[in-house]
Each structure stands twice: as C-alpha cells, then as structure tokens.
Amino acid sequence: MAAGSKKSSDAVIRHAELVRLIDYHRQRYFVDDSPEISDAEYDELERELRVIERDHPELVTESSPSARVGASTVETFSPVEHRVPMTSLDNAMDHSELVAWGERVVKGLPEGEATAYVCELKIDGLAMSLRYENGVLVQAATRGDGRVGEDVTANVATIAVVPKMLTAPEGVVIPEVLEVRGEVYLPIDAFERLKAAKERENVERIAAGRKPEPVPVNPRNAGAGSLRQKDSAVTASRGLAFWAYQLGEVVGGPVFTSHHQTLEFLRSLGFPVNPNIEVVDSVDAVDAYCARWQENRHQLPYEIDGVVVKLDDLAQRETLGFTARAPRWAIAFKFPPEERTTLLRDIQISVGRTGRVTPFAVLEKVFVGGSNVEMATLHNEDQVRLKDVRPGDTVVVRKAGDVIPEVVGPVLALRPEGLEPWAFPSVCPCPMKGELTRPEGEANTRCIEPGCPSQRDQRIIYFASRGAMDIEGLGEKTVFQLSDAGFVSDPGDLYSLTVEQLLTLDGFASISAEKLLTAIDGSKSRPLPKILTALGVKHLGPSASEALALAFGNLDAIMNASQADLASVEGVGEVIAASITGWFAVPDNRAFIEKMRDSGVEFGNLEVSRLPQNLVGRNIVVTGSLDGFDRDGAERAIKDRGGKSPGSVSKKTDALVVGAEPGASKLTKAQELGIPVLDEAQFVALLETGEIPG
C-alpha cells in the first residue's frame, strides 16, 4: 500500500473514532450533566477533528460534530424548536489564534472599514433562550443541539433575576416578540452551599451504613443539574442567576446598528447585563482585556472560563455571515484549563510540623492551571471518605490560580470494577513508625511520637519560611539534606552550621554556603512578631504574634506571663493563650529558646511604628492595585497606624479602599452594606487624618 493511501486510511479511522468520542462526551456534558473529561480535553478532541476535516474535506458530512452544536434533548422536557438557531462559537486558545481571527475579520470586510469589538466575560454556565410575547415570559429553552432545545420554562421562572413581565422606561417600546439569549449560572457562594449540604448529607449516609452520593464538582455542572430538576421548587432553592448577552428573534422592536446598543436596550428592560462588558477598537485592546480577566478571574463571584469577542457593528456581521456551526464575527478566547481528569495512582500521607497527617493524591502527570501536576491535596480522612476517591479512579483535578492542586472527585462512570475504598493508615510513614491517632471531635489525624523526624523537618522548614524567620535559600531540599546528615535536630541548630558542613551537601559550593550562612545570621535580628510566628505554636499566627509583641515587649515576658494575662490581649483569647502556655511548659521547647538566645537571636526587637495611631479600632479593607502602594504596603500603612486590614468585607468594615482591577465581590458587598468606598486619594487622606472622607 502506498504511503499516501495508508495516511488517508489512518485519517478515516481516526475521524470515525473522534466523531464517536465527541458525540459521547457531548451527551455526558449537555444532557447528562455528568462529564467524564474536562472542557480542555473535550476542546482538544474537537480541534483534532477540525484539523483532519481541513486536510480531508471529503470526510465532512451534515452529521459531523463540526456541523452541529451541543447534543440532542432529553425526554424529561418537551422539545422547543429555535426560530433562530443557537450557534456555537469557534475558539482561540492563545494570542496568535486571536490575532489570526482578527485578521480574518478585517479581510472579510470592505477595505479600510473601521472595526470595534465587544468583549464579554465567558460565563461558565448553561446557554438559555427566553421568549417574551407582549412583554410576558412565555417560554425558556436550553440550546440543545442548536436547532431544538428543552422547555425549562417552569424552572427558569424561579430564577429571581429573570424578569417575568417587562416594563420599559418612557420612550422605549417593548417588542411584540422578544427573544433574549444569555447564560444561566450558579454563583460560587450558592455552589459552596449546595456542596456543603451534600457533604453533610453524605456524613449521615456513611453513619447509617449507606454509600455516599456524588458531590457536585463545579458550579457549571451543579447549575445545569439544578436547572433540569423535575420539581421547580428544588430549582428555586439552588440560587441560580442569569446574564443576558444577545438578541434572538425580535418582532416589532426598535432598529439597532450595534451590539452594544442591544445590550443597553436589554438593560433598560430590566435584564441583568454583565457590568464588565467593554467596547474596544482593536485586537490588541481585546488581547489586553483577555489578559486582565485571566489574571483576575477569581475576583468574581461566579466562574468564567474565557472571553467572548464579538464584532460590534451589526451590518458588518451580516457581511461576514456564518460557517456551518459558528458566526465568523465572534470568537471565544479560552483561558488555560483549571480542571483536568487524570489517573489517581495512589493515596499517601504526609506529616506536618504539629504531627498533623494529611492524605495526598499521587497522580498520573497532567498539565492543569499552568503547570504539570503529579500530586494534589486530599485534606483529611473525612474528605477522602466523602469524595469516595480510590486508587485506580479517574479523578477531576483542579488548580485555580496559585492554589494548591486538589482532587475534586472521581469520575464514577470510569471506575474499574472491584476498587476498594481507601483506608487511613494506623502508623506514621517515618522510620519510627509512631502511632497515628485521631482525637475525638477533631477532623485531623496526628502522629503522637515526639521524635518523629517528619515533624522535625517540617518545623525547620516552617521556621525558615517567608512568613516566619524568612531565611532565603533554606528550602525543603536543603533542610532534608541537613537533617539526613545529622547537622540539625531543631531550628536552633541552624545557627551553629559551618561552611565545612554545607560543602558536604549536594549543590553547595563555597559561595552558596557563605550566602546561606549570611542569610541565617541575618535572621537573628528579625522582629519579635516574626520570632513568635516561627516557633510554630498551634493557633499562634502573625496577627496574634503582633498583638503579643506590642503588649509584652519581649519574649521572656511572654514566656513567663500567665494564661489569663495572655488571653486578655485583644486578638489572642483563651484558646491561643492556652496553647502558648502549654508550649512553653515543655522543657525541650524552653531548651530550644535558650539555644537561640545563646546563638545571639534578639528577643525584644519590636520595630514599633512611630506613626500617629489614628486608625485604632478601624477595619479598612483594600482591594485592587494602588499606584503609591504595593498590596502589602497598603495593609502595612493601615496597621502601622493602629488599624486592621482584614481580607474580606463584613458589617464590621469601616471603609473599602478600591484600586485598579478590584475584586468585584468585595465591591458589591460593600455597596450592599452601605460601607464607604474610597479611591487612592481618599485613602491617603484617611492615613493622614484618621477620618473617613464624606
């Protein structure tokens, strides 16, 4: 057989396999609301299909997935034929593909015509069509396969933000027929409530000897499942929301020339239109919008997975038209995936500095959230049981932004037969094989062996970390080497290390050894709050450490204070005070303190602020970036004046300082609570006067 014929035969076989896979996964995603692969993995299948069909156009048929949208409807709901088809969008996965789309747009228009683009956040939800007749909602339908969707009117009618009857401002005419398209989604806080409720229910099921039920893995699937409930009362309880973003069929309505005019029209009729939509005049500006929201996607109270870009001029849209499945005048820029599926090879445990034992997943390597992931947290024994993940499962792995990767849950449809539930070990994995116990009423299992080398190493790592003594260059690998060589048995031994010892370790030469010793020596003058944090006392964090340092002035006074005196310090309380007195009552801990003292570590360096204490009792939250401050600098400026800068807005917040690209959830919460919102100039005035500008 000729090489060309063999290549063509391979393409036919692979094309048939891709058609089968794509149809199957569309059914799992669009109809069953139970996908077996991530969006990114599905996109890869579609992209491979399009490449084959580009090279072999004879394989393209009307039944090909490239010519169809979504999946067929389910029998639970009545079918609805869309008068105007609900098409899908082509995707751009990076800057070059976005630029290529922009060039195709310009090429398809008369030479010299100016273009403007509307950028919209791509909501990770369920596409919806709302039909109004004479201003009354008469039908709501899912996209389905683009031509026929599902009638979900009764359920959509329970969504509070969806208008049931339209009212128009003076001078605006309500069309005889108005079809509004948009996205039904489940806000993150509603998803967390639903997830927590299912986990509580599973605790009861396990206690009763029954199997746990699947826990929702993400807002999109949970939202789609909520919308397809047979009982609309269940849908009403879930807290679904809606953003309008497009017109469908319109009879007797006003004439528009641009897309952004249609959005303003929808907003005037009472439809929720996303406030982050922008009109820009170039593909470079589109790219900047995409980059900004990729970086800030987690500031939103709902999930997005990209940006939808549309040509604004409606006449230009008519000129460009459609392909078999998508408009040429729009594209979806997809963010890098934050969820993927992979094989769970094993579940192992790690031991922390306090003896806390944490299970973690050993995974088949998968690229997710911008990096390769081979391990992910499983939190504790209860979470493993509730999620019911087992070695050998295909699992969903999530890594959002800089968050530590976690296993969200198993893909039950792919579970091999005979997999046994994972059992938590009873002994520590360290050479001492200490007993693992779980105190009554606690969620965490602990190793109770005082000499556990795993605890020792983690205490040293924590001691040297940035939030504690901040010893640059002393990472995990070096600590493990020092420990294995017998050079350190506790953090105090760091101060007696020598160049000769370091030169015996892998990766060290004279210059790097001297540099590390200089960094260790420099940590001797860290302020008292840093030292207190570095001790690793249970419950004692940076905020309480600062309060104690200011109240007592030096470490000796804190060591010798009574539990009642410690608890009386604002921000400390009985639990932290009891933990501190218990820690200092252990002879080995006292000996460790004396070892540090003999090494020259300062125990009374307060770095007390000399600034006026004009923000005492004030809670000032900062969101977004400020020109004159970095993030830590703005919060430090508040604390240096006696104020507090918590990470979230609450009823106790006195003011919210808003910089560029603020967190939308914080701003919305502040507006709901009537909390003053300050710009940077007003923040500077607050720091100078202590008064919140009116």
Q: Per-residue pLDDT tens for 245-276?
A: 999 999 998 999 999 999 999 999 999 999 99
- Report pLDDT for 289: 94
| pLDDT exceeds cutoff 90 at 395 | yes
Tokens representing 280 are 């820009």
360, 391 contact by CB (below 8 A): no
Q: Which percentage of the chain shows pLDDT scores above 70?
A: 95
The single residue of 7, 122, 477, 666 carrying the catalytic annotation is: 122
Q: Which fold has domain 3-67?
A: Helix Hairpins (1.10.287)
Mean per-residue pLDDT, 578-595:
94
| Range list for CATH 2.40.50.140 in the chain | 339-416+427-445
Distance CA 658, CA 680 (A): 7
| Range list for CATH 1.10.287.610 in the chain | 3-67
Is residue 279 classed exposed, middle or buried when 0-12, 13-18 and 19+ CB atoms within 10 A define those classes?
middle
Where do we find the tokens 């419950």?
539
- Report pLDDT for 298: 82
Work out whether strand 126-133 and strand 436-437 pair parallel, antiparallel, or are unpaired: unpaired
- Report pLDDT for 576: 94
Mean per-residue pLDDT, 154-168:
92
- Report pLDDT for 574: 94
Q: Which fold has domain 453-598?
A: DNA polymerase; domain 1 (1.10.150)
- Report pLDDT for 1: 46
Q: Which fold has domain 339-416+427-445?
A: OB fold (Dihydrolipoamide Acetyltransferase, E2P) (2.40.50)
Output 308 or 326, whichever has higher pLDDT.
308
| Range list for CATH 1.10.150.20 in the chain | 453-598
Distance CA 328, CA 320 (A): 6
Which range, 173-187, 215-229, 377-391, 408-422, has the best average confidence (pLDDT)? 173-187
pLDDT tens digits, 665-688 = 788 788 888 899 998 889 999 999
| pLDDT exceeds cutoff 70 at 75 | no
- Determine which of 91-95, 486-490, 493-497 has the lowest per-residue pLDDT on average: 91-95
519 three-state secondary structure: helix
Q: Which percentage of the chain shows pLDDT scores above 90?
A: 49
Give the phi and the psi of residue 552 in degrees, each rounded to 5.
Answer: -110, -25
CA trace torsion 312, 317, 323, 328 (10° rounding): -40
Q: Where are the alpha helices (DSSP H) in 585-642?
A: 587-598, 631-640
- Report pLDDT for 74: 47
Distance CA 293, CA 335 (A): 9
**Distance of alpha carbon 664 from the chain centroid:** 14
Which range, 38-52, 367-381, 532-546, 574-588, has the best average confidence (pLDDT)? 574-588
- Answer yes or no: 122 catalytic: yes
pLDDT tens digits, 456-473 = 999 999 999 988 999 999
The maximal CA–CA distance of the chain, rounded, in angstroms, is 90
pLDDT tens digits, 587-598 = 999 999 999 999
Q: CATH assignment of 620-689, given 3.40.50.300, 3.40.50.10190, 3.30.950.10, 3.30.43.10? A: 3.40.50.10190
Distance CA 292, CA 286 (A): 10
Distance CA 397, CA 375 (A): 10
List Cβ neighbours of 609 (8 Å cut-off, separation of 6 or more): 639, 640, 641
Q: Which of 262, 219, 8, 233 is nearest to 118 (CA)?
A: 262
| Range list for CATH 3.30.470.30 in the chain | 91-193+214-334
- Report pLDDT for 77: 76
Q: What would the DSSP string read from start to end of 343-386?
A: EEEEEEEEE-TTSEEEEEEEEEEEEETTEEEEEEE--SHHHHHH
- Report pLDDT for 419: 92
pTM for the full model?
Answer: 0.59
26, 65 contact by CB (below 8 A): yes
- Report pLDDT for 664: 65
Q: Which fold has domain 91-193+214-334?
A: D-amino Acid Aminotransferase; Chain A, domain 1 (3.30.470)
| pLDDT exceeds cutoff 80 at 182 | yes
| Range list for CATH 3.40.50.10190 in the chain | 620-689
Distance CA 153, CA 77 (A): 10
Q: Where are the alpha helices (DSSP H) in 470-615?
A: 476-484, 499-502, 510-522, 528-534, 542-552, 555-559, 563-567, 573-584, 587-598
495, 602 contact by CB (below 8 A): no
Q: Count CA within 13 A, CB hemisphere, residue 448.
A: 8
Mean per-residue pLDDT, 317-322:
94
Q: Model confidence at 141, in pLDDT bands (50, 70, 90)?
A: very high
Mean per-residue pLDDT, 119-147:
93
pLDDT tens digits, 428-446 = 988 888 889 988 877 788 8
Q: Model confidence at 296, in pLDDT bands (50, 70, 90)?
A: confident
pLDDT tens digits, 99-122 = 999 999 999 999 989 999 999 999
Q: What is the mean pLDDT of the chain?
A: 88
Q: Which of 248, 313, 293 is nearest to 120 (CA)?
A: 293
Work out whether strand 677-678 and strand 655-658 pair parallel, antiparallel, or are unpaired: parallel
| Amino acid sitting at position 573 | G
Output the CA angle 232-236-239, nearest 5 degrees.
Answer: 145
DSSP 3-state percent helix, strand, coil across the chain (nearest 5): 40, 20, 40
Q: Model confidence at 631, in pLDDT bands (50, 70, 90)?
A: low
Q: Please state, in angstroms and as integers, the Cα–Cα distance from residue 469 to each residue in 120, 187, 425, following that order.
A: 45, 40, 34
Mean per-residue pLDDT, 633-654:
86
| pLDDT exceeds cutoff 60 at 70 | no
Output 398 or 499, whichever has higher pLDDT.
499
Q: Model confidence at 505, in pLDDT bands (50, 70, 90)?
A: very high
| pLDDT exceeds cutoff 80 at 181 | yes
| pLDDT exceeds cutoff 80 at 661 | no
Q: Which of 141, 33, 29, 88 is nearest to 334 (CA)?
A: 88
Q: Please count the residues of the chain.
A: 694
Which range, 38-52, 387-401, 549-563, has the best average confidence (pLDDT)? 549-563
Mean per-residue pLDDT, 619-646:
84
Q: Please state, in angstroms and as integers, the Cα–Cα distance from residue 125 to each residue in 183, 184, 222, 285, 320, following that order.
A: 6, 6, 9, 26, 28
Q: Which of 193, 138, 134, 146 is nearest to 162 (CA)?
A: 138
